[in-house]
């Protein structure tokens, strides 16, 4: 068996990590315009485009 992470470290879905330390995303990644653009792109890629 291979352990890929320390089970004692709580993993938050969607968070960014540097090895085992949770880090804040780059400011541009949380900017409203960027989030909307990425959401539209994801919708397009998974076939949910309006």
Please give the pLDDT value at position 41.
93
Q: Are 9 and 20 in contact (CB under 8 A)?
A: yes
DSSP for 1-50, please give it.
----S-TTSPPPTT-EEETTEEEPPPHHHHSHHHHHHHHHHHHHHTT---
Please give the pLDDT value at position 45.
92
Per-residue pLDDT tens over the stretch 1-50: 777 777 887 888 888 888 778 899 888 888 999 999 999 999 999 987 55
**The total number of residues written for the chain in this structure:** 50
Neighbouring C-beta atoms of residue 34, cutoff 10 Å? 13
């Amino acid at each position: 068996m291979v352990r890929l992470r320390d089970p004692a470290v709580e993993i938050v879905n969607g968070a960014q990590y540097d090895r085992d330390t949770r880090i804040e995303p780059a400011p541009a990644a949380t900017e409203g315009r960027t989030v909307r653009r990425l959401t539209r792109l994801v919708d397009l890629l998974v076939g949910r485009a309006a």
